[in-house]
Amino acid sequence: MSLPRVLTVAGSDSGGGAGVQADLKTMLALGAHGMSVITAVTAQNSLGVQGAWELPVAAVRAQYRSVVDDIGVQAVKTGMLGSAELVEAVAELISGTDVPAVVDPVGVSKHGDALLAASALDSVRTRLLPAATVATPNLDEVTQLTGIAVESEGDLRRAAAAVLEFGPRWVLVKGGHLAGDAVDLLTDGAEEHWLRAPRHDNRHTHGTGCTLASAIATGLAKGLAVPEAVGAAKEYVTGAIAAGFPLGAGIGPVDHGWRLRG
């Protein structure tokens, strides 16, 4: 039986903790063949993003067509897209590919560095989110997209409803920035799934959003239903945070291979 094939459309993280590097590690760890479309190159480490350079839309299109038309994919995950032009091009590409799409609407890095131009927000709302099987915004991204500030667990339902208005089939609002346990809400507007995990008190959280979205995409590529794929991804990323390791002087990466080291 061939491996599930999963494509990430995202930026490169030179430090290896987030972005395409985190995506490919996650896919490998979970038993999929990972492929990549690079949208931007960043100079990035545990302290932050020192620089970012977008690739031309033509280069992004060419990478996508090269992979999809020859090798084929069973799920697509998007991450850092940067500009309105890239957002719109990628939205068109994934809309024309009949497989599940996990959209991580990356707006800022773990260190607070902007990774999406303000002018691109409307394109995310009107073009990219409608193409999503699952959208996975964190609380900062929810505020960017909807204007809703989530300050307690009770706000998660309202935030999820606002994101669903933009058209994704499911939304996973990640409540990791709230106090207490790490609580996320997955909903399609009809059913709700609350996902809870203990909060690990460490600084090894770089790449958690990329890792979670890639794990969801891998589950979908294997044929799991959305709630099952999200539940398995949450378990995987929680273990990866717990097993994370100190690299550099700032926020270290999660351990993508924690299960392989059993």
25, 77, 174, 234: the active-site residue: 174
Residue 42's beta-bridge partner residues?
13, 52
187, 210, 219, 222: the active-site residue: 210
42, 136, 205, 218: the active-site residue: 205
207, 219, 244, 252: the active-site residue: 207
26, 187, 208, 218: the active-site residue: 208
Active site residue 209: yes
Active site residue 210: yes
Active site residue 8: no
Instruction: Please report which helix (H) or strand (E) contains residue 38, including its range.
Output: strand 33-45
Q: Please state, in angstroms and rounded to a whole number, the distance separating the CA atoms of residues 164 and 158.
A: 10
Per-residue burial over 97-126, b if 16 or more Cβ lie within 10 Å, else e, is: bebbbbbbbbbebbeeeebbbeebbebbbe
Active site residue 110: no
Q: Please state, in angstroms and rounded to a whole number, the distance separating the CA atoms of residues 43 and 139.
A: 25
Active site residue 143: no
Residue for token pair 């799920």? 75
16, 209, 219, 252: the active-site residue: 209
Active site residue 205: yes
Residues annotated as catalytic (active site), given as ranges: 174, 205, 207-210
